[in-house]
Amino acid sequence: MGTTYSFGANSETITAFRSRELAGGHSIAPDPIVGESALLKSVLQEVSLVAPTDATVLILGETGTGKELIARAIHARSDRSTRPFIRVNCAAIPSSLIASELFGHERGAFTGALQRRLGRFESADGGTIFLDEIGELPMETQITLLRVLQEREFERVGSSHPISVDVRIIAATNRDLQAAVAAGTFRQDLYYRLNVVPINVPPLRDRADDIPLLVEHLVEKFARKARKKFTTIKMNTIELLQAHNWPGNIRELQNVIERAVILCVGEIFSVEESWLKHGSSRPSGLAAPLTAALALRETEVIEAALAETRGRISGPSGAAAKLGIPRQTLDSKIAGLGIDKRRFKLAS
Q: How far is CA 87 from the centre of its chain?
A: 14
Asked if residue 240 belongs to a domain, the reply is yes
Q: In 3D, which of 60, 51, 116 has the Cα closest to residue 85?
A: 51
Confidence of residue 346 (pLDDT cuts 50, 70, 90): low
Are 295 and 183 contained in the same domain? no
Domain C-terminal end among 279, 304, 326: 279
Tell me whether residue 274 is exposed, middle or buried, using C-beta atoms within 10 angstroms of its C-beta: 0 to 12, 13 to 18, 19 or more: exposed
Q: Give the pLDDT score at 304.
A: 81
Are 42 and 188 contained in the same domain? yes
Average pLDDT over residues 153-170: 85
Give 224-270 pLDDT, tens digit per residue.
Answer: 999 999 999 998 999 999 999 999 999 999 999 999 999 998 999 99
User: Strand pairing partners for 153?
Assistant: 164
How many independent structural domains does the chain possess? 3
Tell me whether residue 86 is exposed, middle or buried, using C-beta atoms within 10 angstroms of its C-beta: 0 to 12, 13 to 18, 19 or more: buried
Q: Interior CA angle at 87 toward 86 and 90, to 5°?
A: 135
Which one has a higher pLDDT value, 11 or 185?
185
Are 75 and 219 contained in the same domain? no
Asked if residue 22 belongs to a domain, the reply is no
Q: How far is CA 262 from the centre of its chain?
A: 27
At what angle are helices 249-263 and 211-226 packed, to 10 degrees? Answer: 50
Asked if residue 188 belongs to a domain, the reply is yes
Per-residue pLDDT at 6 exceeds 80: no
CB 139 within 8 A of CB 147: no
Q: Give the pLDDT score at 348.
A: 55
Q: Give the pLDDT score at 347.
A: 62
Are 138 and 273 contained in the same domain? no
Are 85 and 107 contained in the same domain? yes
Q: Give the pLDDT score at 200.
A: 95
Judging by DSSP bridges, how do beta strands 197-200 and 57-60 pair with one another? parallel
Half-sphere exposure of 110 (CA within 13 A, CB side): 9
Per-residue pLDDT at 318 exceeds 60: yes
Judging by DSSP bridges, how do beta strands 268-269 and 232-234 pair with one another? parallel
Q: In 3D, which of 102, 106, 126 has the Cα closest to residue 114?
A: 106
Per-residue pLDDT at 3 exceeds 80: no
Per-residue pLDDT at 28 exceeds 70: no
Are 78 and 119 contained in the same domain? yes
Are 264 and 306 contained in the same domain? no
Are 334 and 240 contained in the same domain? no
Confidence of residue 114 (pLDDT cuts 50, 70, 90): low
Which one has a higher pLDDT value, 304 or 77?
77
Which one has a higher pLDDT value, 333 or 84?
84
Asked if residue 70 belongs to a domain, the reply is yes
CA pair distance 278, 285, nearest whole angstrom? 15
Confidence of residue 328 (pLDDT cuts 50, 70, 90): confident
User: Strand pairing partners for 85?
Assistant: 128
Are 228 and 333 contained in the same domain? no
Domain C-terminal end among 224, 252, 279: 279
Q: Give the pLDDT score at 146.
A: 92
Tell me whether residue 140 is exposed, middle or buried, using C-beta atoms within 10 angstroms of its C-beta: 0 to 12, 13 to 18, 19 or more: exposed
Q: Domain of 65: which CATH number?
A: 3.40.50.300
Domain that holds residue 213: 206-279
Domain C-terminal end among 154, 183, 200: 200
Q: Give the pLDDT score at 195.
A: 95
Q: Domain of 241: which CATH number?
A: 1.10.8.60
Are 312 and 248 contained in the same domain? no
For the chain, the average pLDDT equals 82
Asked if residue 320 belongs to a domain, the reply is yes
Give 69-86 pLDDT, tens digit per residue.
Answer: 999 999 999 999 999 999
Are 144 and 215 contained in the same domain? no
Span of 102-111, 233-242, 283-292, 313-322 with lowest mean pLDDT: 283-292
Say what the pTM is.
0.72
Per-residue pLDDT at 25 exceeds 80: no
How far, in Å, are 107, 142, 179, 320, 322 from residue 309 at the CA level? 55, 32, 17, 10, 9
Are 53 and 102 contained in the same domain? yes
Half-sphere exposure of 267 (CA within 13 A, CB side): 6
Determine the straight-line distance between the first and last CA of the chain, rounded to whole angstroms.
56
